[in-house]
Amino acid sequence: MPTTQRPRSRRGEGETLREDLLAAAVELIGTAGSVDQVSLRAVAAHVGVSPTAVYRHFDDHHALMTETLIKCWRTFEAALCASQDPTLDNFTNFGRMGAAYAAFSAAEPGMYRAMFSAYDSMGDDVLGACLDVFSILVDIVAELLNDNGDDRDPTYVATQVHTWVHGIVDLCRDPESRPYSADSEDLIADLAVCLGLDPR
């Protein structure tokens, strides 16, 4: 795929180059929306180094893409965590997390698409990073259920929440192509009510 070559890194061949390669792979995945469309050679060219330099840090394409997807998931995790305010109630923070989820998918559609299309095919480390993010949702759902004296299984309810949210952000990502005018934030707020997570 076409790529814009960056000037060769002047920061050496150590950990800084490794980070440059990961950052380039994240950027290219964000453009392509798929790990299969991003070659090791393209990543090297994007940074301005030879493919040989990539092999000094990653065994092969799969290893590079694995670490890249983990980096994507950690970036997503940080965005969700940053949305939380310990001075606010759980229901408000739940809404803020939903808004952060939708904002990330809108800001990084290619990265988001790649993350969710490849997490279960890249190995246990990528799946583990995905489950770490899901555990954040499970925790806040557990808090909401506890607030309401609701004894439902928080993992099951969190799965319902994520299924709905994922569908909402997929359908609402491109406002010009969807056949309705509903806003993702309103839909996410309504799903909390429909699933009985609002304060009682």
The domains of the chain are located at 15-58, 69-194
Confidence at 12, pLDDT banded by 50, 70, 90? very low
Please state the rounded mean pLDDT for residues 142-163.
96
Among the residue ranges 66-75, 95-104, 143-152, 184-193, the one predicted with the least confidence is 184-193
The pLDDT, as a whole number, for residue 6 is 45
Predicted TM-score (pTM) of the model is 0.82
Residue owning tokens 């920061």:
11
Tell whether the model's pLDDT for residue 168 goes beyond 90.
no
Predicted confidence band at 87 (pLDDT cuts at 50, 70, 90)?
very high
Mean pLDDT of the chain: 85
In degrees rounded to 5, what are phi and psi of residue 87? -85, -10
Structurally, at CATH architecture level, domain 69-194 sits in: Orthogonal Bundle (1.10)
Say if residue 10's pLDDT is above 60.
Answer: no
Which residues, 6+ apart, have CB-to-CB distance to 20 below 8 Å?
9, 11, 47
The total number of residues shown for the chain amounts to 200
Q: Give yes or no for a contact between 194 and 160, defined as CB atoms under 8 angstroms apart.
A: no
What digits encode the pLDDT tens for the residues 20-67? 999 999 889 888 888 888 899 999 999 999 989 999 899 999 999 999
Identify the pLDDT of residue 4.
46
CB crowding 152-175: b at 16 or more within 10 Å, else e: eebeebbeebbebbeebbbebbee
**C-beta of residue 106 within 8 angstroms of C-beta of residue 118:** no
**Residue 170 pLDDT level (bands cut at 50, 70, 90):** confident
Mean pLDDT is highest, among 13-17, 110-114, 137-141, for 137-141
pLDDT of residue 95: 92
- How many whole angstroms separate alpha carbon 131 and alpha carbon 120? 11
Reply yes or no on whether the pLDDT at 3 is more than 60: no
Structure confidence at residue 174 (pLDDT): 64
Distance between CA atoms of 85 and 149, rounded to whole angstroms? 23
Q: What is the CATH number of domain 15-58?
A: 1.10.10
pLDDT score for 11: 42
Band of pLDDT at residue 85, cut at 50, 70 and 90: very high
